[in-house]
Amino acid sequence: MKKIGIGYDRDGNVVDNSRYFDNKKIMNADKKILDMMGKYPVINLSLKAAKQPVFLTAFKKLRDEIINEYRLLLSRQMIKI
Q: Quote the CA–CA distance of 43 and 46 in Å, as a whole number.
A: 10
pLDDT, residue 56, reads 92
pTM of the model: 0.49
Quick one: average pLDDT of 22-31? 88
- Which carries the bigger pLDDT value, residue 60 or residue 8? 60
- Which carries the bigger pLDDT value, residue 3 or residue 47? 47
Quick one: average pLDDT of 18-45? 81
Q: Quote the CA–CA distance of 47 and 63 in Å, as a whole number.
A: 11
**Nearest C-alpha neighbor of 78 from the set 15, 34, 2, 3:** 15
